[in-house]
Chain A
Amino acid sequence: MDYLTIIQILDSSVRLATPLLLTCLAGLFSERAGVVDIGLEGKLLIAAFLSGAAAAVTGSIWIGLLAGVAGSLAFSMIHGLASITFKGDQLISGVALNFLAAGLTVVVGQSWFQLGGRTPSLSGDGRFAPWNLPFSDAMAKIPVIGPAYDELISGHTALTYLALLAVPLSWWVLYRSRFGLRLRAVGENPSAVDTAGISVVRLRYAALVIAGVLCGLAGTYLASLAAGFVKDMSAGRGYIALAALIFAKWRPWYALWATLLFGLLEAIGNRYQSIALGDIVIPVQFMQALPYILTVIILAGFVGKAIPPRASGQSYVKER
C-alpha cells in the first residue's frame, strides 16, 4: 500500500462519511432535545428524492437542495406533530415515516417521471461540482503534502465542507449558547426547563427543525453524488448514523470521528475486498460486515457507557 493509495482511501472515506455525519448530527440535535429519531432514514430518502426530482426538472441543484430540505423538514414536522404535540410514541412515528418515505418516493416518482421511481439523471448544474480549493493544482506538485491537499482536502463538494463546518458549529450551539443549554436540559429534565418558564414544546420543535435541515442536506448530497434518485438509495445510512450517534455518545466531535471511522471502514472494504495475510485470506463478506462487528465490539467494551439523554423517548406531559 503506497502513500497515494492511502490518500485515495481517505478521500473516499470523506465522501462516504459526509452523509453519515450530517445525518448523525441531525439525530444528535433531535435526541439531545429528548426526541428519539429513528425516522432519519426516511428523511434522507425523501430529501434525496425531492432534491433529485427538483434538480432534474429545474436543472439546478441549489433548487434541488431547497426542495430536499423542505421535504425533510416536512417529515420532521410530522414527527413533531405526532410525538410532541400529540404525545405519541416517538419510535412508532419514526418507523412510520421510514415506510412512508420508502413507498411515497417510488409512487410519486413513477407518476412524475415514468421511470419506475427513478428520477432522470442529473448533469451539469444539476449536481454539486467539486470545489477545487485555491492553489490545489500548484500544490499537487509538492511531494507528500501536495497530493494530500489536492486529493484529500480539496476537490469535495460544497456540502462536504458544510458538514465539516457543522461539527464545531453544533458544538458551539450545544455547549456555548443559551439555546444549547436549554436544548440539552430539555432532553435531560424537561420539567425543570418548564419550571424555569421555557416552552418544552417549542424547544423540541426547534431541535427537529435543525434535524430536518441537516437530513435534507445529507439526502441532497446522496442524490447529487449518484446523479439522481434510485429507489431505496439511502440503503440503511440513516440507521448507520444512529449507530454512530450512540458510538459518539451524543457529542458533536465524537460524531465526526465515529462517522469518519464508518466511512473509512467502508472505503477499505470497497478497496480491498479480499485481503490475503500469508496463507489466510480474509473473505470479502468479513470486510463488508466489519462496520457492524466493530459497532458491537466497541459499544460492548471500548466506548465506555453510552448514556442517552435521560428524557429521550418520553413525551413531555405538563403536570397540572
Chain B
Amino acid sequence: MTLMKSFLGAAAALALTSGTALADPAIIFDLGGKFDKSFNESSYNGAERWKAETGGSYRDVELQSDAQREQALRRFAENGFNPIVMAGFSFSTALETVAPDFPDTKFVIIDGVADAPNVRSIVFKEEEGSYIVGIAAAYAAKGDTVSFVGGMDIPLISKFACGYAQGFKSVKPDGKVIVNMTGTKPEAWNDPVKGGELTRAQKAAGSEVVFAAAGGTGLGVLQTAADEGMLAIGVDSNQNFLQPGHVLTSMVKRVDNAVYDAFMQGEDLETGLFVMGLANDGVGAAIDEYNEALITPEMKAAMDDATAKIISGEVVVHDYMSDETCPAFDKPGE
C-alpha cells in the first residue's frame, strides 16, 4: 500500500508538472502524517492558507519511511518545484546531500539546519514556549508535581521537556517534573494506548498537569488526562479544543507562519538561518474560548511577565540541544 501510494504520488507529480511553466511550491510532510493534529498539520494549514489567499497550487507528499526523504526531495527538485519546504528535523542530512545538486532551487527546512547557500533553515525556540506553559502548569497544580510525555526519544523532544521543567521550577523550585518518553522507534508517535498508560502512571506518582509533545500519542495523553481529571497541555497546533476544560493551554509553534511566509516569497526567498522565538511570535501559549476559564489572572500575569523577560533577555532559557543536558531535570531515579 505504502509503495503503491508513492508510485501513484510520483505519477501524479509527473503528470501535473509536465504542463506547467511557472514553478509551484512543494511541501514534504514528515512521518507523523499531515493530519497529526500537531506539527505536520500546522505546516499543512500554512500551505492551505497560502493556497486560499493566492489561489495558487502546491504539491505535497507524506513520507512513509525514512528511506524516502532523499528520493522525495530529488523528485520534487527535478520536477522544477520551487521553493521546496520540508517539515521536520530529520531532513537535515538528506537536504545537505541534495541541495548542492540543485543550486537554482530554494529549499526551506523547518525545525532543522542544513548548511547550503540555497537553504533557509528555520528553527524554533521551543524551550521558550515550553517555559511559558511550564509556568502555567506550576500555577494550575495545587501540589508540586507535574509531568511530561514525549513521543520518540530524541533531543528535540527533550528540548520541550527541558524548557517546561525550567518554567515550572522558576515558580516552584522544589517541585518535581516527571519526564517520560513513549519509545525509541517511530511507532512512539502513534501509540495513544501507551500514552494513556504513561499518563496514568504519572498521575499515580502525583502529577496534576501533563504536557504532551508526542504527535498522535499525545491524543491518548489528552484523553486520559480528561478521563482521570487531570489537566493537559497540548503542543505544536492549538489543541485546546480537543478536550475542552481539560486542556490548560497549548504550546503552539507557528509552523504554519513559517510555511506561509516561504510560499509567499516563492522563488526569491531569503536563505540562511531564521530563529523563531517568543520575540517574533514563533512560539507561544494558546489562549482561546476553550481554556479561558482555566487561566487565572495571576497565572496570566506570570506568563506575560516571563514572556517580557525572555524577550528582553533578562531570563535566558537553557536550550537542551546546545549541550544535551538540562539544569532543571531531576536526577534519574529520584
Contacts and interface: CB of A to CB of B under 8 A. Distances in A.
Interface in B159-200: 179-181, 183-184, 187, 190-194, 196-198, 200
A267 B179 CA distance: 16
B153 interface: yes
A222 B184 contact: no
B209 interface: no
Interface string A230-242: 1111011000000
B284 interface: no
Q: How large is the interface on B (under 10, 10 to 19, 20 to 34, 35 or more residues)?
A: 35 or more
A99 B1 contact: yes
B290 interface: no
Interface string A279-292: 00101110011000
Contacts of A12: 197, 200-201
Contacts of A232: 187, 190
B319 interface: no
B102 to A, nearest CB: 30
A274 interface: yes
B223 A5 contact: no
B223 A121 contact: yes
Contact of A16 (B1, B37, B197, B220): B197
A230 B35 contact: no
A103 interface: yes
Contact of B193 (A110, A117, A222): A222
B197 A275 contact: no
Interface in A218-233: 222, 225-228, 230-233
A274 B332 contact: yes
Given A225-B196, A228-B219, A233-B193, A284 B181 contact: yes
Nearest to A4: B204
B275 interface: no
A72 to B, nearest CB: 17
Nearest to A103: B1
Contacts of B242: 121
B5 interface: yes
Given A102-B1, A230-B190, A274-B332, A116 B33 contact: yes
Contacts of B181: 273, 284
Interface string B213-234: 0001001100100010000000
B48 to A, nearest CB: 13
B155 to A, nearest CB: 14
B34 interface: yes
- Give the residue among B1, B34, B220 with the most A Cβ atoms within 10 A: B1
Contacts of B216: 118, 230-231, 233
B19 interface: no
A173 interface: no
A288 B1 contact: no
B236 interface: no
B36 interface: yes
B197 A270 contact: yes
A77 to B, nearest CB: 20
- Give the residue among B33, B192, B198 with the most A Cβ atoms within 10 A: B192
A192 B36 CA distance: 53
A70 interface: no
A227 B198 contact: no
A8 B203 CA distance: 11
Contacts of B5: 103
A276 B194 CA distance: 23
Contacts of A99: 1-2
Given A104-B1, A231-B216, A5 B198 contact: no
Contact of B180 (A103, A116, A117, A273): A273
A284 B196 CA distance: 18
B204 A5 contact: yes
A8 B219 contact: no
Given A276-B333, A285-B184, A116 B190 contact: no
A117 B190 contact: no
A115 interface: yes
Contacts of B201: 8, 12, 267, 270-271
Given A12-B201, A230-B220, 5 more contacts: A116-B34, A116-B35, A117-B35, A230-B190, A267-B201
Nearest first, the 8 closest Cβ-Cβ pairs linking A and B are A116-B35, A276-B333, A103-B1, A274-B332, A226-B192, A235-B191, A230-B216, A232-B190
